A and B are shown apart, each in its own frame.
Chain A
Amino acid sequence: MSIILSAVLTLLALATVFGAILGFAAIKFKVEGNPIVDQIDSLLPQTQCGQCGHPGCHPYAEAIANGEAINKCPPGGEATIQALADLLDVEPIPLDAEHGEEKGKQVAVIREDECIGCTKCIQACPVDAILGAAKQMHTVIAEECTGCDLCVEPCPVDCIDMIPVPQTIRSWSWNSPTAQPHMANQIIATDRAPGVTAQ
């Protein structure tokens, strides 16, 4: 009897001690928020375009954290998929064409003489990058525009164009030598492109 009692007491004591330690650890080492979601979110391009099927980048980050596929972000393209794959330690998969395809960077431009000042695009813009008031001509703040094209559809007079961001002499930078024309003779057909993992 006393054996049983001492065993039970020991177990109880142990449970109390470990419980206390666990409880203490839970408070002491509490992780704020869900860091993985924030990490994923920081890799997404933040166009807030909704092409992934979620209302913005953060919701998609949450969905990825809950197991959704990582290939639904056309603005981020292959680079984002690669980065997500690295972060989550999964195999990179090709972009899901269902959600759109990777385009170059774009910026919305309002043809201002055609604008009727309806403010519809202002309401559609997820990052408040369109300036204007009712019956006043609107304009896009190009530096803030993420190129999500959510403003194009609501426009009743089709006066918004998505224009690829032009490369200027100030934004130019060198290509990888593997992409140089005079280097082409050394790239053999079977050579894999740099950065692609070996078979």
Chain B
Amino acid sequence: MRQVWDFHGGIHPKENKTQSSQSAIAPAGIPPQLVLPLQQHIGQPAEPIVQVGDRVLKGQMIAEAHGPVSVAIHAPSSGVVSAMEIRPVPHPSGMSDQCIIIDTDGKDEWCELSPCEDYAALTPNEILTRIRQSGIAGMGGAGFPTEIKLHPPRHDKVNTLILNGAECEPYITADDRLMRERAEEIVLGLEIMAYILRPGECVIGIEDNKPEAIAALREAAKETQIEIVVIPTKYPSGGEKQLIKILTGKEVPNGHIPADIGVMCQNVATAAAVYRAIRYGEPLISRVTTLTGDCIAQKGNQQVLIGTPIEWLLEQNGYLAQKGSRLVMGGPMMGFTLDAINVPVVKTTNCLLAASYKELPPPQPAQACIRCGMCSEVCPAELLPQQLYWFSRGQEFEKAEHHNLFDCIECGACSYVCPSSIPLVQYYRYAKGEIRQIQADQEKSNQARERFEFRQERIEREKEEKEAKRKARAEAAAKAQAAKKEAAANKAPEPVASNDKAAAIQAALQRTEAKKQAKEAPQKATGDTQAVTLESLQKKLISAEDKYSKMQAAWQDAQVNNPERAEKLASAVTSSKDNVEKIKQQITELGGDNTAAVPAGPSIEELKSNLEKATGKLQLMLDTLEDAKQNHPDRVEKLERAVEKNRTRVSLAEAALRDADNPQKQTESTESEG
């Protein structure tokens, strides 16, 4: 007799299993429509390989594994792919994801399968490929691709292969019924896995509250080396790490996977699916799901096609929707509530619990933590849940991490026993999410810093190179050219010529300033005086007009030089003009006579900076032109054109500045434009 160990903590919630465990697994039938999310597993979503309108057969692959950690998806019944679109999927967030929709035709025609009478004729690698092709992902709830799991790193020899039949969550009986009715499939599936891994021993762990399943498995495993171990009923004995502790006495070291200590844990339903995939070539297209809870008239277990809409499934079984009820996917300890019933059954849906208000009353308002320590008494990971709670609540994430927050398996035992009804698990999930976000942000900002620094370096280097070139050229070049350059340089006012980077930053600052004011304005407008809004609108008007005139210039230029561009610009000009008109309209609505009272100060500043920018650019272009004349004759023409354009821009800016210097003139010009 094998020694059975104990793990720390654990609870004994009310089991509520008899409601659904009394009847045999029944087929759920074919719904009129199947919704197949591309991601039903951990890893990358699958990649569709069918088109909308394609007719697909039962068992045909419709999306293939994409990336190293991924599994394929198959059509659960024959029909036509009617859409590939975003649909609500079962997820705690209640959000939607990409799905393939199949309108079934009811014929349930199989595609051609490749069964295999004797798995020993295949190599382990061939079996693994078949498992991958069959789309099998862990069916206990996490949905980790089975093929990857059966592929431990080479140096990890699996000594103990464990099948998890504990099913410790209340209400769920899917594995229980499966073990009772299909014990042979489970045992054969385990043998296939054992063929791949060649472990020293194979163990099936079952809680002692399932005597029929134990008897059935004992019967099925009579002729084999497989050991059926009965473990005491205690939640969460079905947790992977806990089950390993119970059956082997070993703990999975922090940061490692079970294979590192020579143990592998698979779910019984996964074993059955592996058997069907190898023996009959059937991909994973249906699973046993427990339908239970007071809001379902016919409780029991059903063989449900993956993708079956839950709405349809519940209707078939007499759904008694009532106020305050909740629909849980998974068990009452670790399952998540569904916002709506229009989501499909997926590969990990082991239970649908439609609980009445009475059955699962809404949580009480949380009281203060009195540090009673009951949570740490029941914690199977031996954490200090109340400390984690304080840290998570106080957003002291570093301390939470130091208290091993990430070793929390979110089993919910702490929340279950908490006398103050504190939603502890949600605090941990929140803290975990935040910490992951912080880490991701940190990574991104490091990347940004690297790229920024690299860019700075590159710009510096380019500048130096240019400088060196120019020096060399200046020495070699004719005096005439030098004189010409000087003449050009004299044209431009001194301050601008310096540093275009500084100018860019200056511009950025001004822009943010303007933006901020523009943004503030509408907020203020609600409660504040009209004048503020007017002011901001006028600022907007100025910038819009500025942009409009810029665009117009660009457009005119383009008309001459670059017809294809002109078209695009034309539309931009129109929209820009519309913008100007719109703002003007707004101003008039708010108090027309004030229109012209544009605050002179900032606009002059702006114009000055515009002028500086333009002249700076002109200088830059002239430099480039010189360079081009020397080195790239083909570019000269283009550059000359650009210089010409910029000259106009400079003169325009100068003119605008002159206008602005004289407020009266400016008023006139604004009016005439309007």
Asked if A173 contacts B569 (CB within 8 A), the reply is no
A173 with B91, Cβ < 8 A, contacts A126-B455, A153-B511 known: no
Please name the 8 residue pairs, one residue from A and one from B, whose CB atoms are nearest each other, closest first: A173-B433, A46-B445, A174-B429, A186-B365, A46-B448, A127-B451, A172-B93, A157-B572
Tell me the minimal C-beta distance from B638 to chain A in angstroms.
9
- CB-based contact A116/B568 at 8 Å: yes
Q: Knowing that A98-B513, A156-B572, A176-B427 are A-B contacts, what are 8 other residue pairs whose CB atoms are under 8 Å apart, sorted by A's residue number?
A: A45-B445, A48-B452, A101-B519, A116-B565, A146-B444, A153-B508, A157-B569, A158-B575
A169 close to chain B: CB less than 8 A: yes
A–B complex contacts, Cβ < 8 Å, 7 sampled: A97-B516, A100-B512, A129-B451, A150-B504, A157-B568, A173-B436, A174-B430
CA gap between A175 and B446 in the complex, in Å: 26
A44-B445, A127-B448, A174-B426 known; A195 vs B395 contact (CB < 8 Å): yes
With CB as the reference atom, state the residue of chain A lying closest to B91: A169
Q: Interface residues, chain A, CB within 8 Å of chain B? A: 41-42, 44-51, 53-58, 97-101, 114, 116, 124, 126-129, 144, 146, 150, 153, 156-159, 167-169, 172-178, 180, 182-183, 185-186, 194-195
B489 interface contact, C-beta 8 A: no
Task: Say what secondary structure dominates the interface of chain A.
Answer: loop
| Residues of chain A lying within 8 A (CB to CB) of residue B96 | 169
A70 to B569, CA, bound (A): 43
Which stretch, B106-114, B178-186, B215-223, B546-554, touches the partner chain A? B546-554
A126-B452 CB under 8 A given contacts A168-B95, A177-B423: yes
Tally of B interface residues using CB under 8 Å:
65
A residues near B505, Cβ cutoff 8 Å? 50, 54-55
How far is A101 from B434 in the complex, measured between Cα atoms in Å? Answer: 22
CB distance from A106 to the nearest CB of B (A): 13
Contact partners of B456 in chain A: CB under 8 A: 56
- Report chain B residues within 8 Å CB of A183: 365-366, 423
B residues in contact (CB < 8 Å) with A: 39, 89, 91-93, 95-97, 362-363, 365-366, 392-395, 423, 426-427, 429-430, 432-434, 436-437, 441-442, 444-449, 451-456, 501-502, 504-505, 507-509, 511-513, 515-516, 519-520, 547, 550-551, 554, 565, 568-569, 571-572, 575-576
A98 to B515, CA, bound (A): 11
Are A56 and B516 in contact, CB atoms less than 8 angstroms apart? no
Q: Are the C-beta atoms of B448 and A156 separated by less than 8 Å? A: no
One of B433, B445, B508 near A174 (C-beta < 8 A): B433
Q: A47, A50, A54, A180: which contacts B448 (Cβ < 8 A)?
A: A47
Query: Chain A residues near B447 (CB, 8 Å)?
Result: 144
In the complex with contacts A150-B508, A176-B430, A128-B455 CB distance below 8 A = yes
**In chain B, what residue has the closest Cβ to A187?**
B365
> Could you say which residues of chain B place their CB within 8 Å of the CB of A127?
448, 451-452, 455
Complex CA distance for A48 and B504, rounded to whole angstroms: 13
Given contacts A48-B452, A116-B565, A172-B95, contact A99 B512 (CB under 8 A): yes
CA distance A156 to B366 in the complex (A): 56
Q: How far is the CA of A54 from the CA of B501 in the complex (A)?
A: 11
Specify the chain B residue showing the minimal Cβ separation from A178. Answer: B393
In contact, A194 and B365 (Cβ under 8 angstroms): no
Cβ contacts under 8 Å, B509 to chain A: 50-51, 53
- Closest chain A residue, CB of each to CB of B514: A153
* Complex CA distance for A43 and B576, rounded to whole angstroms: 40
Please, which residues of chain A bring their CB within 8 A of the CB of B513?
A: 98
Cβ of B39: which chain A residues have Cβ within 8 Å of it? Answer: 169
Contacts of B392 in A (CB 8 A): 176
Q: How far is A119 from B38 in the complex, measured between Cα atoms in Å? A: 38
- Residues from chain B with a CB closer than 8 A to the CB of A194 are 393-395
Bound complex: CA of A183 vs CA of B393, how far in Å?
Answer: 14
Cα-based distance from A50 to B501 in the complex (angstroms): 11
Q: In the complex, what's the smallest C-beta–C-beta distance from A44 to chain B, in angstroms?
A: 7
Q: How far is the CB of A181 from chain B (nearest CB, A)?
A: 12
CB–CB B430/A157 < 8 A: no
Given A57-B449, A168-B95, answer yes or no on A173-B434 (Cβ-Cβ < 8 Å).
Answer: yes
B462 nearest CB across to chain A (Å): 12
> A residues within 8 A CB of B501?
55
Q: Which A residues are CB-close (under 8 A) to B436?
A: 173
Q: How far is the CA of A175 from the CA of B516 in the complex (A)?
A: 30
Residues of B contacting A186 in the complex (Cβ-Cβ under 8 angstroms)? 365-366
Docked-complex contact A128 and B451, CB < 8 angstroms: yes
Q: Are the C-beta atoms of A158 and B516 separated by less than 8 Å?
A: no
A16 to B365, CA, bound (A): 72
Report A-chain residues with C-beta under 8 Å of the C-beta of B97: 169
Q: Which of A124, A157, A195 contacts B504 (CB 8 A)?
A: A124
Measured CA separation A157–B451 after assembly (Å): 27
| Bound-state Cα–Cα, A146 to B441, Å | 10
**Chain A's nearest CB lies how many Å from the CB of B506?**
9
A48 to B515, CA, bound (A): 18
Q: Bound complex: CA of A138 vs CA of B363, how far in Å?
A: 53
A100 in contact with B516 (CB, 8 Å): yes
What's the least CB distance linking A70 to chain B, in Å? 17
Q: Given the complex, which residues of A lie within 8 Å of B451, measured CB to CB?
A: 127-129, 144
**With contacts A51-B512, A99-B512, A194-B394 known, is A173 near B448, CB below 8 A?**
no
A94: min CB distance to chain B, Å: 15
Cα distance A10–B504 when bound, in Å? 62
Across the interface, which residues of A come within 8 angstroms of B362, CB to CB? 182
Contacts of B507 in A (CB 8 A): 153
| Cα-based distance from A1 to B365 in the complex (angstroms) | 88
Instruction: Provide the residues of chain B in CB contact with A49, threshold 8 Å.
Output: 508
Give the residue name and chain of the A residue nearest to B440 (CB).
A171
Report whether B568 and A169 are in contact in the complex, using a CB–CB cutoff of 8 Å: no
User: Cβ of B452: which chain A residues have Cβ within 8 Å of it?
Assistant: 46, 48, 56-57, 126-127
B286 vs chain A, min Cβ distance (A): 24
Minimum C-beta distance from B204 to chain A (A): 34
Which residues of chain A are near B508, meaning CB under 8 Å? 49-51, 150, 153
Return chain A residues, CB-CB under 8 Å to B92.
Answer: 172, 174
A158 touches B576 (CB 8 A): yes
Residues of chain B contacted by A195 (CB below 8 angstroms): 393-395
Q: Is the CB of A177 within 8 A of B449?
A: no
